[in-house]
């Protein structure tokens, strides 16, 4: 404990980046290209719309996009697909958060699988691979004039980066070396391009934030600007108030900005296809029914709690993952259509978009 406190104090005494006064409100739109290729047409008041332009028109200001290293099982979320997504976001006037998974597949709070090409490398070689790959991607984006505004070094990295599973101990000497390689690559790419993308580290569920960042601080993972939190009530022990308590505590202890970078809520318990809904009745919070208005009020109240607690925003996970006739690895259709921002069958925009332009009360400084 003493070591943790000393390390935290050392961080506080340093020179962290200036606090961000922007309120980031937006969504992860990584599925849009695939859904449109599958025939999805998104509508607002009956008229076809571009989801990126709609997000901006409704008051959003940021798009998150995931990147896998070599996803040979899909043609999406690779570099070319990410390039297309960022171009669309910038064309709509939106900021971009780039989410490096450092995996060929989903990396999340349960497991972190290394890219196949890096799996047999030792720690030093893996750290070099992380640095080189991150530098290469950001360098190519910078050359296109598409440098992201924020960069996630890993996605829901509760387990050890590139190889850990939940419940296993984290080898922090290795973990820190990998994280610091990715962070340095972002800093160096920013300098080379004349930009300064913010560095985000991302943990799933608020109750895991303080333990993880205490250990990261002791291990020497210090040079980040933003703490990203996934908050899904289905998988968290904490209510919305508890989330707010964690946000305030993390902001104070680690001298970093804090954002809810993933959340979602169902507008119905029905489905449009045979693929089971991941967010069913077990995810509901009293007072927020599975209705379009319940979804809208959840987002407004959650965001107000984030703002009141000193957080800098909320990013919704996959509001455009609607049901189509395409087949994913989990079945035909979508496992998330009941938590999208578009209705089940015509893909008409729902009231959830209202949270983007709601007048939130800022916390007193």
Question: Would 364 be classed as within a structural domain?
Answer: no
Rounded CA-CA distance 144/102 in Å is 22
CA distance to 16, 24, 35, 309, per residue, from 364 (Å): 21, 18, 42, 10
pLDDT in tens, 248-260: 999 999 999 999 9
* 3 state SS of 104: coil
Q: Which of 240, 288, 274, 270 is nearest to 339 (CA)?
A: 270
Beta-strand (E) ranges in the chain?
Answer: 24-28, 43-44, 47-48, 62-67, 95-100, 150-153, 198-204, 226-230, 257-262, 313-317, 327-328, 331-332
CB neighbours (10 Å) of residue 39? Answer: 9
For position 307, what pLDDT does the model report?
98
Catalytic residues: 156, 262
| Number of domain units in the chain | 1
Dihedral angle sign, alpha carbons of residues 220, 225, 230, 236: positive
| Cβ-Cβ contacts under 8 Å for 168 (sequence gap 6 or more) | 159, 160
Helix, strand, coil percentages (3-state) for the chain, rounded to 5, are 40, 15, 45
Rounded CA-CA distance 42/20 in Å is 33
Question: Would 205 be classed as within a structural domain?
Answer: yes
CA distance to 54, 129, 154, 304, 324, per residue, from 181 (Å): 37, 9, 12, 35, 40
- Cβ proximity of 175 and 251 under 8 Å: no
98 CB-contact burial (10 Å; exposed 0-12 / middle 13-18 / buried 19+): buried
pLDDT in tens, 287-318: 999 999 999 999 999 999 999 999 999 999 99
CA distance to 229, 282, 324, per residue, from 274 (Å): 31, 19, 11
CATH code, 281: 3.20.20.80
Range of the domain at 55: 2-12+20-357
Question: Would 178 be classed as within a structural domain?
Answer: yes
For position 113, what pLDDT does the model report?
97
Rounded CA-CA distance 96/324 in Å is 26
Cα angle at 90 between 84 and 92, to 5 degrees? Answer: 105
For position 242, what pLDDT does the model report?
98
Question: Would 362 be classed as within a structural domain?
Answer: no
Rounded CA-CA distance 260/243 in Å is 9
Low-confidence residues of the chain: pLDDT under 50:
1-17
Q: What is the dihedral of CA 60, 32, 271, 105, to 10 degrees?
A: -110
Rounded CA-CA distance 305/122 in Å is 43
Question: Would 84 be classed as within a structural domain?
Answer: yes
- Cβ proximity of 277 and 321 under 8 Å: no
For position 365, what pLDDT does the model report?
54
Question: Would 363 be classed as within a structural domain?
Answer: no
CB neighbours (10 Å) of residue 184? Answer: 18
Question: Would 365 be classed as within a structural domain?
Answer: no
Rounded CA-CA distance 6/217 in Å is 9
Question: Would 176 be classed as within a structural domain?
Answer: yes
For position 21, what pLDDT does the model report?
81
């Amino acid at each position: 404990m003493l070591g943790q406190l000393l390390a935290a104090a050392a961080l506080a005494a340093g020179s962290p980046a200036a606090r961000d006064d922007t309120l980031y409100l937006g969504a992860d739109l990584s599925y849009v290209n695939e859904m449109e290729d599958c025939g999805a047409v998104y509508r607002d008041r009956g008229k076809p719309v571009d989801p990126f332009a709609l997000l901006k028109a409704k008051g959003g200001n940021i798009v998150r996009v995931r990147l896998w290293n070599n996803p040979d099982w899909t043609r999406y979320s690779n570099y070319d697909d990410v390039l297309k997504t960022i171009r669309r976001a910038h064309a709509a006037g939106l900021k971009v958060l780039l989410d490096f998974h450092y995996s060929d597949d989903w990396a999340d709070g349960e497991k972190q699988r290394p890219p196949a090409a890096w799996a047999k490398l030792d720690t030093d070689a893996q750290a070099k691979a992380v640095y080189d790959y991150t530098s290469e991607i950001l360098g190519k984006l910078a050359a296109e004039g598409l440098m992201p505004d924020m960069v996630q070094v890993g996605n829901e990295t509760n387990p050890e980066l590139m190889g850990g599973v939940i419940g296993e101990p984290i080898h922090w000497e290795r973990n820190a070396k990998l994280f610091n390689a990715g962070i340095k690559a972002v800093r160096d790419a920013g300098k080379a391009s004349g930009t300064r993308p913010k560095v985000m580290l991302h943990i799933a569920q608020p109750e895991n934030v303080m333990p993880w960042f205490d250990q990261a601080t002791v291990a020497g993972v210090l040079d980040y600007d933003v703490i990203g939190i996934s908050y899904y009530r289905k998988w968290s022990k904490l209510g919305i108030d508890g989330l707010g308590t964690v946000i305030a505590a993390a902001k104070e202890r680690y001298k970093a900005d804090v954002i809810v970078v993933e959340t979602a809520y169902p507008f119905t318990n029905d489905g449009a296809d045979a693929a089971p809904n991941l967010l069913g009745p077990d995810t509901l919070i009293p007072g927020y029914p599975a209705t379009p208005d319940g979804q809208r009020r959840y987002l407004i109240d959650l965001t107000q709690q984030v703002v009141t607690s000193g957080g800098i925003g909320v990013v919704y996970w996959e509001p455009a993952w609607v049901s189509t006739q395409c087949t994913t690895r989990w079945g035909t259709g979508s496992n998330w259509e009941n938590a999208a921002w578009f209705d089940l069958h015509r893909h008409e925009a729902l009231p959830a978009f209202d949270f983007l332009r709601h007048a939130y009360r800022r916390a007193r400084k």
